[in-house]
Structure 1
Amino acid sequence: MNDIPTTRRRRGRLRLLLGAACAAALVAGGLVIAPSAHAEADRTLTSNQTGTHNGYFFSFWKDSGSASMTLRENGRYSSQWSNNTNNWVGGKGWATGTRRTVSYSGTYNPGNNNTYLALYGWTRNQLIEYYVVENFGSYNPSSGAQRMGSVTTDGGVYDILRSQRVNAPSIDGTQTFWQYWSVRQQKRTGGTITTANHFDAWARAGMQLGSNHSYQVMATEGYQSNGSSDITVWEGGTGNPGPSPTGNPGNPGNPGQSNCTAVLSAGQQFGDRFNLNVSVQNVSNWTVTLSLGNGQSIQNSWNASVSGTSGTVTARPNGSGNNFGVTIMANGNWTWPTVTCRT
């Protein structure tokens, strides 16, 4: 397995700080309850802190420089940082992660810099660090990771990857653990993240999360860069329950979009071809489209009615269930096709 590049290893001290907050958080049904029924005033953080603000768990960490994060109404926070900051990360979310549907909206200005916007969390009782990366600047945070497949969900395609950290800092001290990644191919700043679809896709690729969830936050991070963000996060996919950063109604999170999900996983590989398995979830009447790369063609398929052999290939149910497979002649191109799913 490939380790994550050294520019990402700096995060160990952050994890120790964030992990310590979980034991002190007040939790009810996975949602942190604010100690007062009254709205809390805005707070600007410039030093490392964790806690609760207006009903949401928050974390802020930096190792140096002028990064700051302002906690605002409901699940909103804003941040800014400059090049004199080595590394910082912060965001709002929940002290306990789960299979919740997370929605967010706002602005994110990464420029051509090393920064990203992601739903981020940890599990224990298998120690796992996970990311659902929605947007990033010049640096793809999954670089150096092993590609395990892809998942189509919430209107986009995410690459599924994993990397292993050996004797590295974690929320439980120095450990060896896996990192799980879903990295969105079509960058965005706003929408709905159906967390369960990523958890299930990872599991189907042999990437099991632990049984004990730690925190889960919608985080902004910057490393030796400059940028800003203004993000509001909330639970559910039907609209922001509070004001958005512009004072307008929140992002509805594509409430009318189908939740059809197609997950790719690896099959056997041969000298001139490879097999892919496709698992369709949440619907039974589906159309899956595979966009093959240059030179690739379909040699064989099973458990679905497949139309076409090159370019855009379409698969539909044939009575054999929601799992099917294809054999792709590589012709020197071993890149997996992109996949989309619709009802």
Structure 2
Amino acid sequence: MNTIRTTRSRAPTPVYKTGHPWQADPRASFKKWLASAENDDGCGFSDGTIKVYAAMWSTFIRHLESRRGRTAILARADDVADFLDHASACRREQGRRRYQLLLERAFLAMAKEGAIHWTPAPAPALQTQKAADKPMPFLTRQERERVFAALAEPSNFHNEDGWMQARAKALCALMLGAGFKPGQANHSSVNCFEDGPQRFVVAPAIETMATHRALVAPQAWPAIQSWLNAGVDGAGPMFPGRGGAGTVDYARTFVGAKELLRGLGQLAGGERVSPQTLRNSYGASLIEDGFNLADLREYMGFSRLEFAKRFVDAHSAWVVRMARAKSAIEESVEIGGEE
């Protein structure tokens, strides 16, 4: 009897260890790693930062499972690139860069723990982000003084229009005088202010779920103090909703602020003033006053020292643009005079 021998099929060798913690529960493994990791300053991450990064990682995991049909431990370089190119959280260059750095560190940690055998290469910048590539606008020192003067003008608290105007002035004062992001003012408490020669405010950082200390410019204090003197409850939010309940709606908060800024016209070399321009200009004032990168990171609430460095670079580029524009104007005037 002849025996027919057939080739015995073998199961593919897995590229990961079956039952590895990163395979069983990538979210819990990520939190465990993050709790023992160090930030750029060699310190451990705060609970608030861990919470935010865990949420970011969870967003990536959901995208990976629903769009690519893979778990984190089976992800490839093109899966990471697909997330960076298509996820809504990465539409803006800043968000894309934050996720890119986080994923690079997470996959490097997985490789060190033996869960995977590759690490993602640095992804190229998204070329379609025209808005993100737009030069960052700032106000000059003279323009900042002009805005502060408008904010310091007395408001009429005897009618609703005057009350809303005073609120708008206080909001703008926080952005230009303390570097608040537009959304942070909604969650500020009245009792977080310290009155003194150097006035500090503990500002809630919405994106990082943490707080940072901001140095309030003296020129901003009149508008802030006027609003506080109007009878805002010292134990509640600085900008309460109607009837003093909760915080005012985000969109409604900035209706008056946008109207106030629109009335100032065009500043910053032709740019129309915006809440973000006010925040940028606060950072510019810190740079001009000689504060270092660590101070800038603290007072602006940046989560990484790298972001403070980028901000300084953007301001330097703006200074160069303004100098060139001024030089071009002077040259045109000289040419016109010669004719």
TM-score band by shorter chain is under 0.3
Report which of the two structures shows the higher radius of gyration computed on alpha carbons. 2
- When you count strand as a share of all residues, which structure comes out higher? 1
Which has the bigger relative contact order, CA under 8 A and spacing at least 6? 1
TM-score, reference length from structure 1: 0.22
TM-score, reference length from structure 2: 0.22
- When you count helix as a share of all residues, which structure comes out higher? 2
